[in-house]
Amino acid sequence: MGDVVRQLLLPGGILFLPFVVGLMGSLTFGVVGSYVTVRRITYVAAAISHSVLAGVGFAVFARHHWGLEWLSPVLGAFLAAVVAALIIGQVTLEAEHLGDSVISAVMVIGMASGVLFLARTPGYYSPMSALFGDILLVSRRDLWVIGGINGATLLAGVLYYRKFLAVCFDEEYARLRGLPANLYFLSLLLLAAFTVVAMMQIVGIVMVIALLTLPAMTALLFARRLWHCMVASACLCAGCVTGGLVLSYCLDLPSGPVIVVLAGMVYLVAALASRLPLRRARNPGRIAAMPPADPPPQA
């Protein structure tokens, strides 16, 4: 036990960097994951996260063949996520009936091109590390990039809370109040894209969507306000990342799947707990919780 704590908390430990990245990412996941879940665009976020493999593959390919050392896999992923978010967002706004097909197309084309780039790049970068996460890939340089992405995303998500809340709750009314609702929708997709990139090395691009949605879904079972959901979701995410890293180290298992399974189990337990009679007694439903009913109609 002492060993895992040292690995987790001491700067030289193998789990230290993933732990720091995980905690930073949890804040962003809490905020952006809540927006994505209540706006019901988790499938869009999943497509963006999968298409990120194209950027990772291209970055590795370009570094090896063209000597572009500055193009790190994280930067490649960032660019791919932005392009995917803009394509999906624009098509969804311009022609909603094509949105579903385009989302699927972006997802599979992104993954396929990423695999092709990696297949043509000799070396040790396996597609499996990108797909399912590899904590050994987190470097100190990545820490600054990820920190920057997280900070900017968090700042935008918090500063524009009221406007995002209005757009997510009733887009039509927000538009009527003069808000550029389409721009906010695209911004939300970009925030989701940035968040995906920030955590892909810990849980992988296939499963990063789980951390974006599962803690928020768990928090939504109990939260009455969106910001409550964000705080609870960030705490849950941090707990799942920490617990998952510790378990994966102790049981010698890949960190990504352990974190995701843990988040899934937390959701399952919370969903069951939310249906217990105990909760109903403390938080009675619609009728009992209301103040006196509407006054009777006037004669």
Partner 1 sequence: MFPRRIHPPDTAPGCQPVHNLAGPAVTFQNVSFSFPGSGPVLSDISFRIGPHAHVCLIGPNGGGKTTLLKLALGLLPPDEGRIDVFGRPPHRACRHVGYVPQHSVLKRGFPITVREVVLTGCVERHRFGWHRPSCGTDADAVMRELDLMPLSHHPFDRLSGGQRQRVLIARALVGNPSLLLLDEPTANIDPALGTQVRDILGRLSRRMTVMTVSHDLDYIDASLTSVLFVNRSVREMKPAEVTSDAVWSLYGRRPC
By C-beta, is 123 or 292 nearer to partner 1?
292
DSSP assignment, residue 10?
S
Alpha-carbon span 10 to 288, nearest angstrom: 52
- Tell me how far, at minimum, the Cβ of 279 lies from partner 1, in Å: 14
Nearer to partner 1, 119 or 290 (CB): 290
Q: In the bound complex, what is the minimum distance in angstroms from residue 97's beta carbon to partner 1?
A: 7
Closest to partner 1 by CB, 140 or 282: 282
Q: How crowded is residue 31: how many other Cβ atoms within 10 Å of its Cβ?
A: 28
Specify the residue, 273 or 290, whose C-beta has the smaller distance to partner 1.
Answer: 290
Query: Which tokens is 225 given?
Result: 């306000």
Footprint of partner 1 (CB under 8 A): 38, 40, 91, 93-98, 159-163, 165-166, 168-170, 172-183, 220, 223-226, 228-229, 285-286, 289-298
Give the nearest distance from C-beta 20 to partner 1 in angstroms. Answer: 29
CB of 298 to partner 1, least distance (A): 7
- What string of DSSP letters covers 187-230? HHHHHHHHHHHHHHHHH-TTTHHHHHHHHHHHHHTT-SSHHHHH
Give the shortest CB-174-to-partner 1 separation in angstroms.
6
68 in Cβ contact with 128 (< 8 Å): no
Q: Is 288 exposed, middle or buried (0-12, 13-18, 19+ CB in 10 A)?
A: exposed
Nearer to partner 1, 93 or 112 (CB): 93
| Least distance (Å) between residue 154 CB and partner 1 | 14
SS3 percent helix, strand, coil of the chain, rounded to 5, is 80, 0, 20
* CA angle (224 as vertex; 220, 227 as ends), nearest 5: 80
**Which residue, 144 or 173, is less far from partner 1 as judged by CB?**
173
**CB of 33 closer than 8 Å to CB of 263:** no
Min dist CB 90 to partner 1, Å, is 10
Which one, 16 or 227, has the nearer CB to partner 1?
Answer: 227
CA dist., res. 36 & res. 195, Å (int): 11
Question: Which is closer to partner 1, CB of 21 or CB of 226?
Answer: 226
Residue 75 tokens read as: 């930067």
List phi, psi (to 5°) of 10. -85, 140
Task: Write down the least CB distance from residue 94 to partner 1, Å.
Answer: 5
